[in-house]
A and B are shown apart, each in its own frame.
Chain A
Amino acid sequence: PKTFKVQVITMDAEMEFSCEMKWKGKDLFDLVCRTLGLRETWFFGLQYTIKGVCAWLKMEKKVLEQEIPKEDPVKFHFLAKFYPEKVEEELLQEITQHLFFLQVKKQILDEEIYCSPEVTVLLASYAVQAKYGDYDPAFHKPGFLAQDELLPKRVLKQYQMTVHMWEEKITAWYAEHRGIARDEAEMNYLKIAQDLAMYGVNYFSIEQNKNHTDLLLGVDAKGIHVYSIDNRFSPNKSFEWSAIRNISYSEKELTIKPLDKKAEVFKFFSSQLKVNKLILQLCIGNHDLFMKRRRVDSIEIQQMKAQAKEEKARKKMEH
């Protein structure tokens, strides 16, 4: 059969695949997951950018029938599209945890997620533990972190501290983590990161109908939030998934109807129809996971949980 080339970039690898012309998004996605040995597939997606807007490959539609960039090979980023409500309960496989760790770490370093200087130092110390193992002063000599990107540039600029001083600060915490294995260090990182206000939120610029006030809409694991343009930390208004009746769009307008019929219907405009489609897609996916978490675990999840528990116990013994 005729094929076309696809390049898939994960947080720590690049892979190339030959896809059959007739393949649906799901065929490619499943192949990537199998190649990675990833079973907790529901958090992830294949992302691409088209005309400056980020989009996710649809599973049920043919790859070539989607509005993907015309390039050879076609480039996709394999990324977490949805986030768990509690990392320690939901991320079971080590590979899943590792991919989340890498993605969230990049978001923090790139300042897409705001993090206070104190917490960035603590997070950096866990990242160092994950990479270098236990601290050994005989081996980890001053300057050993010189090549690592560990803190956001904003934090580095904010203080009059030398690279050496930062390294000392991080190492003081790092030395405290002795005995923590790589997967544990990455999980500790995620447990702290998930409490940051901007963690796991997809933000969109929106305009409100009447007075044209610019606002931000945030979609995350718990629901939909509305923020002022200058405050991404605390929403002015929140709609939990369980309190929403219906979400719909028509062209650039999007409507959220609360379950409570007396409550005000929230209407706004996004910049493009394409963005509304993406917002609704994220709402459906997040709501689906929200419902799944509140049901009895499937057999597959039960098995994976049991396996993860066994694996953890085995590792602890080894360690």
Chain B
Amino acid sequence: YFARKANHKGSYSLVDALKSKV
């Protein structure tokens, strides 16, 4: 759910993080 595509880009999906912890 946290993805770093390049050194200057990052993304965090709260929805995916929640799904993975349920």
Q: In the complex, which residues 234-258 of chain A have their Cβ closer than 8 Å to any Cβ of chain B?
A: 241, 244-251
> What CA separation (Å) do A283 and B10 show in the bound complex?
12
Name the CB-closest residue of B to A277. B10
Q: Which of B1-21 contact A (CB under 8 A)?
A: 2, 8-15, 17-18, 21
Residues of B within 8 A of A244 (CB): 14
Residues of B within 8 A of A273 (CB): 8
Asked if A295 lies at the interface with its beta carbon under 8 angstroms from chain B, I say yes
B8 touches A251 (CB 8 A): yes
- Bound complex: CA of A276 vs CA of B10, how far in Å? 9
Considering the complex, give the chain B residue whose CB is closest to the CB of A255: B11
When C-beta atoms are compared, the residue in chain B nearest to A276 turns out to be B10
> Bound complex: CA of A245 vs CA of B2, how far in Å?
13
In the complex formed, the residue of B with least CB distance to A246 is B13
Cα A280 to Cα B2 in complex, Å, equals: 10
Q: Which residue of chain A is the closest to B16 with respect to CB atoms? A: A246
The tally of CB-CB contacts under 8 A between chains A and B is 42
Q: Does A287 contact B (CB under 8 A)?
A: yes
A218 to B1, CA, bound (A): 22
Interfacial chain B residues near A276, Cβ < 8 Å: 10
Q: Contact between A295 and B21 (Cβ–Cβ < 8 Å)?
A: yes
Contacts of B11 in A (CB 8 A): 246-249
Contact A287 B13 (CB under 8 A): no
Instruction: Select one of A250, A251, A259, A283 contacting B12, CB under 8 A.
Output: A283
Given known A-B contacts A284-B2, A291-B21, A247 and B15 have beta carbons under 8 A apart = no
Tell me the minimal C-beta distance from A232 to chain B in angstroms: 25
**Residues of A in contact, count (CB < 8 Å):** 20
Q: Is the beta-carbon distance between A280 and B17 smaller than 8 angstroms?
A: no
Min CB–CB distance A296 → chain B (angstroms): 12
Interface size on B, residues (CB 8 A): 12
Q: How far is the CB of A291 from chain B (nearest CB, A)?
A: 6
Known: A284-B2, A291-B21, A295-B21. A249 touches B14 (CB 8 A): no
Cβ of A247 and Cβ of B18 under 8 Å apart?
A: no
Residues of A within 8 A of B2 (CB): 284
Q: Which residues of A are found within 8 Å of B21, using beta-carbon distances?
A: 291, 295
Determine the residue in chain B with the shortest Cβ distance to A244. B14
Chain A, 8-44, contact with B by CB distance < 8 Å: what is the 0/1 string? 0000000000000000000000000000000000000
Contact in complex: B13, A249 (CB < 8 Å): no
Asked if A288 CB lies within 8 Å of chain B CBs, one says yes
A–B complex contacts, Cβ < 8 Å, 21 sampled: A241-B14, A245-B13, A245-B15, A246-B11, A246-B12, A246-B13, A246-B14, A246-B15, A247-B12, A247-B14, A248-B9, A248-B11, A250-B8, A273-B8, A277-B10, A284-B12, A284-B17, A287-B17, A288-B17, A291-B18, A291-B21
Given contacts A247-B12, A277-B10, A287-B14, 14 further A-B contacts (CB under 8 A): A241-B14, A244-B14, A246-B12, A246-B15, A247-B14, A248-B10, A249-B10, A250-B8, A259-B15, A276-B10, A287-B12, A287-B17, A291-B18, A291-B21
